[in-house]
Amino acid sequence: MKKLLCIVLAVLTVVFAFAACSKTETKETLVMATNAEFPPYEYHEGDAIVGIDAEIAQAIADKLGMELKIEDVSFDSIIPGVQAKKYDMGMAGMTVTDERLESVNFSTSYAKGVQVVIVKEDSDIKTIDDVSGKKIGVQTSTTGDIYASGDYGEENVTKYDNGAVAVQALISGKVDCVIIDNEPAKSYVAANEGLKILETAYVEEDYAICFNKENEDLMNKVNAALEELIADGTVQKIVDKYINAD
């Protein structure tokens, strides 16, 4: 009887140890909200969302031992979703601005962005100074939208769901130019004949990851991982992989 009891106890010990091990190995999920209409930072490749932000986020999740889940949403719903704790963080070529800092916190900057102006090749808009008084297309709630509305007036700015739709509005003559980030601008110009980017940049800015103001613990963990990835050159390699290919 004692021998049988010892065997049962040994089996139970193994079962509990296995269960505990399995529980330990279950990864916590890191939910990232993005808008996958912003190449090369985030875009669709088949069913997958790829790009600079997607790879940096994966590297962060790997370093933290977490499972990355990317949610593709409209750009203007990212910050409200992070505020509502629907997403752990937002990463979408997002610029740090004073207005956004009122709603969310931001990580260390991981990349530089440049706002540029796309026009038709035969456009009479030759420099930034010529944009005044023209019909401007932008993506809703982006910094292109914020800056253009402030500089040129809301009445001259037409807002679109994404950059591709804004560019199509330019091609069809609904707007005279499109203000958008330089990297997706290059992709749109390459894909559509008869367009060009003005040589002079409109605005230079910093990209960072946004977090709920109450979630400082996660922000600090992600920030620490991000800073390590910047220091060891991983972030720059990811950026170069996509931008140098252009």
CATH of the domain at 143: 3.40.190.10
Domain assignment of residue 13, yes or no? no
pLDDT value for 83: 98
Q: Which residues of 24-62 are buried (b: 16+ CB within 10 A; e: fewer)?
A: eeeeeebbbbbbbbbbbbbbeeeeebbbbbbbbbbbbbe
pLDDT value for 113: 87
pLDDT value for 84: 98
Q: Whole-model pTM? A: 0.76
Do 134 and 183 lie in one domain? The reply is: yes
pLDDT value for 244: 67
Do 198 and 218 lie in one domain? The reply is: no
Do 45 and 157 lie in one domain? The reply is: no
Nearest to 134 by CA among 183, 187, 177, 95: 177
pLDDT value for 26: 74
pLDDT value for 15: 44
Nearest to 175 by CA among 138, 212, 137: 137
Kindly state the tokens that stand for 219: 């922000």
Do 47 and 160 lie in one domain? The reply is: no
Do 197 and 121 lie in one domain? The reply is: yes
Between the alpha carbon of residue 45 and those of residues 15, 24, 111, the distances in Å are 43, 33, 22
Residues 6+ apart with CB under 8 A from 210: 78, 79, 82, 89, 90, 91, 94, 100, 104, 105, 106, 107
**Residue 43 contacts residue 107 (beta carbons within 8 Å):** no
Contacts of range 182-185, beta carbons closer than 8 Å, 24 or more positions apart? 182/113, 182/114, 182/115, 182/116, 183/39, 183/40, 183/41, 183/93, 183/113, 183/242, 183/243, 183/246, 184/38, 184/39, 184/40, 184/41, 184/93, 185/116, 185/118
Nearest to 176 by CA among 133, 115, 139: 133
Do 58 and 174 lie in one domain? The reply is: no
Domain count, the chain: 2
Q: Which range of residues forms the domain containing residue 80? A: 25-110+208-243
Domain assignment of residue 12, yes or no? no
Do 101 and 127 lie in one domain? The reply is: no
What are the average pLDDT values for consecutive 10-residue runs of the chain, which has 246 residues? 46 46 68 94 95 98 98 97 98 94 97 94 96 97 93 97 96 98 93 96 93 97 98 96 71
Domain assignment of residue 15, yes or no? no
